[in-house]
Structure 1
Amino acid sequence: MNWIEVSLQLLGGLAIFLYGMHIASDGLRKSSSYQLNLFLRKVTKNQWYGALAGIVLAAILQSSTAATVMIVGFVNAGLISLRRAMGVLLGSAVGTTFTVQLIAFAITDYALVFVILGVLLFLFDSRFRSYGSIVLGFGFVFFGLDLMTGAMEPLQSSELFRESLVFISDYPLLFVLVAAVFTAIIQNSAATIALLFALTSSGLISLEAAVYAVYGANLGTVVTAMIASLKTSKDAQRAALAHAIFKAIGVAIFIPFTQMFVQVLPLLGGDVERQIANAHTIFNIVNMLLLLPFCNRFADWMVRLLPEKMEPSKHVKHIDRDTVQFPAVGLLQARKELERMSGKIRDDMFPHLITMIRDEKTRAAVVEEEKVIDHLYKAIYHHLQQMMEQDLNDRESEEALKLLYFNNDLERMANTVKDMTRVIAKLDRGGKALSEWERTKVAELYEEVMQSFNDAIQGFQNQDEEVALRVIHSNPKILRMERELRYQHFHQGASSSSTVSVVFSDLMNGMLRIHQHSVNISHTLLGMV
């Protein structure tokens, strides 16, 4: 037996299998990204609906690891609460078993037919490319599985290989550990179970050993999510840890009953591959049904286990780099961060536009807040740029572009407020002050501009085009009001100081610039970019 040839065929089959899973998952994601986004927002209102969402999510992504990373990303963005995430995580483990059940069908002989059909769909029309990727991906999955099965046949005659497996069989927990480590390395439990199909069908390991390895494959899926959560919010870390504990509890429950479990599997029918697939499905369904009623308590325990540390909060709260590969999550995180950014401008900067006329400390606080806004702007900008380097569909590209425009307008608003602090500082240096009449007129324009800003933000957050149109229609009114106030200033209430007159005019110009960015945000919502 040529060990090099066997190793190359086995590793080559595994590589083709993993690549097939990748492009099939990518095709499924692109063909249903927008619907998936809406679905997840609507069906996480309780644990059972959340479990359903997790099942659908993992079935679409063809990977419980990817699904878990996405869920952690949703929690980090504040789109799903920690309690709701518990059910979604349990459901995602069930959803990924659909892939293994599909692979268990004896259709490896038709792998190349899938490849041919996938290529034809991919080349036929750009509208069918995502569907072509799905078919082509599964073609590679079945072809890779066929190669791995073929690589196992020569190993049946190897005494060394058989003795090694017999030795490991005497230590079932070693099977769990090896499968967990292997799955953690390749980040795909379906590939581990596909390898079990090849080993078991070749007679190299028993069904019982394969079941222990199934437990390990489930454990190994938690590693990627744990790593992805390291630099996320505390709730996201709690969700990743809960996912690991769920899997560990499931393995602990099943191990004592494994021999009984193995005796039941043949009664369900099917060949040995189907029995392994059924073991994987039953493990996750039972685990979900057992733990789902305790999800809220688990969330409370996770809060106690990972308490919030009293540390200075970082500027960026909701986005993390691990979600760039999942546009549905990455875009929602960017939108959530932008909503937070607009809230900081509304609550921590705009209210001081009037009070900072008299208070130097307030102006200094506004300047410091602008630095935070600038930091957020850069983080969101780089996050969206990295996402746009991915192969996004048309809807995702349009959304990313809108968010870039929105980010730009918010940052310029903050810059404008900072510039206005410098304008007001001229009064202090010259020992001057705005008159009561001038402060009153600035406040009048401020009220109109702030109403316009609040409407613009509300329209963008709620995707409300009527509110956006209201902002745009308010533009002539605010422009006319500014001209009238400037006219009154020069002809009725003008100060004898040229410095005061310049400051008054500059403050009016600043208000107009803020309003113009509100109009720009509304134009962006309406697709006028």
Structure 2
Amino acid sequence: MNDVVFAIIRLLCGLAFFLYGMDVMSGGLKKLAGGKLEQMLKKMTSNSFTGILLGAGITIAIQSSSAMTVMLVGLVNSGIMELGQTISVIFGSNIGTTVTAWITSLSAIGDADNFFIEIIKPSNFSGILAFVGIVMIMMSKKKRRKDIGTIFVGFAVLMFGMELMSDAVKPLSESEQFSRILTLFDNPVLGVVIGTVFTGIIQSSAASIGILQALSMAGKISYSMAIPLVLGLNIGTCATALLSSFGVNKKAKRVAVVHVSIKIIGMLVFMVLLYVPQLFIDMPFMRENINPFGVALCHSVFNILNTLILLPFPKQLEKLANFLVRDRHDGEAEEYTLIDERLLQTPSFAVAECNNQTCRMASLAKKTFLESIGLIFSFKGENFDDVVQKEESLDQYEDKLSTYLVRLSGKDISDRDGREISKLLNTVSDFERIGDHAMNIAFAAQGMHDKNLSFSVKATEEFRVLDAAIRDILELTVKAFKTGDLALARQVEPLEQVIDTLTATMKSRHVERLKSGECSVESGIILSDLLTNYERVSDHCSNIAVALIEIDKNEMDAHEYLHELKKSDAGFEAQYELYKESYKLPQE
């Protein structure tokens, strides 16, 4: 009895190392993968084949089908993806998660005279990986190499845990108590339940598979015992997605339901195909003892065949999810979350989504400002209301994005993601301020309309020139931000200088017109306010462009950059002269 107790203790120790190694390796892979996978995820789900490939690829990259599904729940909850797009990705994720089982099955490789066989034994190569990883972490200055080192160390710890579990169960092969416990698994239904519950508790199908592979090395588990456990642990891995679906909208809940449905339907099909025929025909292989490679094979066959069986029925799976999670009937539309909290579990994906949302904010800021300046000479109440609504949306963007980015900056992120967060934090407030200035202009235009005020012909002609310049700088800034084009970003500052000159000249001319009586004092005050808002918007465009350039250089000294730019950059002077020529005020 004592042998069994201590064996279980050693098994749990091995499980602890396994889970920790998996977590470390997964964290390193997530940082290394970066946000590009998230971009691909949304673009390559147009057909089932690419969706499966992408789902498998991302799951292999981040080593977690649970994290993949949680991510999908978050993306649907944010309104970024639709339920139908996620189904093929879930299929791919189910296949991708089987790779870990094949890696851990290497622990079953026995002693051999062949050098190449010996070197792929975990007890040999994991130590080498651990040493290389430690050297990379300690010696390398680049974060990317440190991340690779972390992956190596995590993998080595994972395999060490697998070795511990394998060694722990070896004494159990002679234990009568252990043999009696295993007789419980002769009941396939009980095997499915145990596999489901255990995996649901530890929330890691890879760990469950690892334990089953370790137990199989005791030579006491047959295929008929192992297969129900494999089916059950595939269902149990859905627990994470189900837990993550609390507090999300109906569409996001359906992602978790689809995931569970795929596993349960597959389990029922396989149980019928494997165990019903045994009532009529003998299936000798079911009585044979399974080994770690056999466990990996069962895991892979289940997920691959399950995908092939259900792949032609995505619409039916979607209808099933819609039936199980029904829409509201109170007529109230569901709200989408700007950026879902669940994406914080995969920081690189969260960073990419923050960038996407900031790009939307940038476009909205541009539209809001352009709509507001249109009110100056053609005021319409519905357009004014639209500006107000858009400005409120910009406020919400700024509030939620800034809060989210601050939280995200506290996560373990790569250098690249850190720079991206800095860029976003430095630019979000500028886009919001552009909305504020749009609101100021809209109120000024409303005041002119209500009081039936207008500008002189000369002032109107000058505004047309300034309008063209401000439209150009907004277009340059937003395009540079969305594309990351630094060449475009460098064109912003020369134009900002031209706009400064334009507004200063217009104010000076306005004073002269006031003296000559060409303009009224009341309209003059409004004109001065408008010019101030135009000039401030160009300043914010400059801030955004400088942030893009400086953060790309891993620096953030805007004052020094602008000083050097104006002092010694020949390109700046040439661009400035070009803009100066393009945006000339009419002669007085």
Fold conserved (TM > 0.5)? yes
Matching residue of 1:277: 296
For 2:290 and 2:324, the matched residues in 1 are separated by 44
Matching residue of 1:147: 164
1:238 Cα deviation (Å)?
A: 3.2
For the structure 1 residues 242 and 114, does the alpha-carbon distance in structure 2 shift closer, same or farther, using more than 3 Å as the test? same
Matched, 1:245 2:265: no
Partner residue of 1:109 out of 123, 140, 154: 123
1:425 Cα deviation (Å)?
A: 7.8
Matching residue of 2:150: 133
1:386 Cα deviation (Å)?
A: 1.9
Greater Rg, structure 1 or structure 2? 2
Aligned letter for 2:412? Answer: D
Partner residue of 1:513 out of 497, 518, 536: 536
Matching residue of 1:500: 523
Matching residue of 2:135: 120
Kept in 1, the 8 Å contact 2:25–2:152? The answer is yes
Kept in 1, the 8 Å contact 2:371–2:387? The answer is no
Partner residue of 1:382 out of 403, 411, 435: 403
Matching residue of 2:270: 254
Give secondary structure in 2 for the equivalent of 1:324. helix
1:434 Cα deviation (Å)?
A: 4.2
Deviations 1:411-452 (A, max 9, x none): 1212323444666687799x6844464567556534532343
Aligned letter for 2:527? Answer: F
Kept in 2, the 8 Å contact 1:406–1:521? The answer is yes
Deviations 1:56-81 (A, max 9, x none): 11111122112222333444556555
Aligned letter for 1:148? Answer: M
Give secondary structure in 2 for the equivalent of 1:202. coil
Alignment of 1:53-452 (within 5 A): 53-76=54-77, 80-106=81-107, 107-110=121-124, 111-127=126-142, 128-156=145-173, 161-170=178-187, 172-232=188-248, 234-259=250-275, 272-295=291-314, 298-299=317-318, 302=321, 306=325, 309=328, 310-311=331-332, 314=335, 317-347=337-367, 350-355=370-375, 366-367=387-388, 369-420=390-441, 433-435=453-455, 437=457, 442=463, 445-452=466-473
Aligned letter for 1:293? Answer: P
Deviations 1:255-311 (A, max 9, x none): 1123479959799x9961111110001111111222223335544665676566553
For the structure 1 residues 157 and 61, does the alpha-carbon distance in structure 2 shift closer, same or farther, using more than 3 Å as the test? same
For 1:169 and 1:524, the matched residues in 2 are separated by 65
For 1:421 and 1:360, the matched residues in 2 are separated by 10
For the structure 1 residues 121 and 480, does the alpha-carbon distance in structure 2 shift closer, same or farther, using more than 3 Å as the test? closer
1:91 Cα deviation (Å)?
A: 0.8
For 2:160 and 2:318, the matched residues in 1 are separated by 42
Kept in 2, the 8 Å contact 1:318–1:334? The answer is no
Kept in 1, the 8 Å contact 2:199–2:233? The answer is yes
Deviations 1:388-427 (A, max 9, x none): 2122222211122112222121112123234446666877
Kept in 2, the 8 Å contact 1:265–1:278? The answer is no
For the structure 1 residues 271 and 226, does the alpha-carbon distance in structure 2 shift closer, same or farther, using more than 3 Å as the test? closer
For 1:198 and 1:508, the matched residues in 2 are separated by 74
Kept in 2, the 8 Å contact 1:356–1:363? The answer is no
For 1:233 and 1:499, the matched residues in 2 are separated by 52
For 2:382 and 2:211, the matched residues in 1 are separated by 67
For 2:217 and 2:447, the matched residues in 1 are separated by 84
Kept in 2, the 8 Å contact 1:153–1:202? The answer is yes
Tell me which moved more, 201-210 or 46-55: 201-210
Deviations 1:11-30 (A, max 9, x none): 22111100011111222233
How many equivalent pairs are there? 525
For 2:95 and 2:284, the matched residues in 1 are separated by 20
For 1:38 and 1:421, the matched residues in 2 are separated by 36
Kept in 2, the 8 Å contact 1:459–1:467? The answer is yes
For 1:466 and 1:8, the matched residues in 2 are separated by 61
For 1:278 and 1:13, the matched residues in 2 are separated by 23
Alpha-carbon RMSD: 3.6
TM-score normalised over the length of structure 2:
0.78
For 2:523 and 2:323, the matched residues in 1 are separated by 58
For 2:488 and 2:341, the matched residues in 1 are separated by 33
1:102 Cα deviation (Å)?
A: 0.8
Kept in 1, the 8 Å contact 2:25–2:154? The answer is yes
Aligned letter for 1:18? Answer: L
1:466 Cα deviation (Å)?
A: 4.6
For 2:427 and 2:77, the matched residues in 1 are separated by 21
- What 5-or-longer segments of structure 2 have no aligned partner? 108-120, 557-588
Kept in 2, the 8 Å contact 1:165–1:205? The answer is yes
Kept in 1, the 8 Å contact 2:137–2:149? The answer is yes
Aligned letter for 2:98? Answer: T
Matching residue of 2:584: none
For 2:316 and 2:8, the matched residues in 1 are separated by 47
Give secondary structure in 2 for the equivalent of 1:105. helix
- What 5-or-longer segments of structure 1 have no aligned partner? none
Give secondary structure in 1 for the equivalent of 2:312. helix
Percent identity, please.
Answer: 28
For 2:375 and 2:414, the matched residues in 1 are separated by 47
Tell me which moved more, 303-312 or 176-185: 303-312
Give secondary structure in 1 for the equivalent of 2:311. helix
Give secondary structure in 2 for the equivalent of 1:293. coil
Kept in 1, the 8 Å contact 2:219–2:289? The answer is no
1:463 Cα deviation (Å)?
A: 3.1
1:90 Cα deviation (Å)?
A: 0.5
Deviations 1:93-151 (A, max 9, x none): 11111110010012353354543443233323244322222222222112212222333
For the structure 1 residues 273 and 233, does the alpha-carbon distance in structure 2 shift closer, same or farther, using more than 3 Å as the test? same
Kept in 1, the 8 Å contact 2:56–2:92? The answer is yes
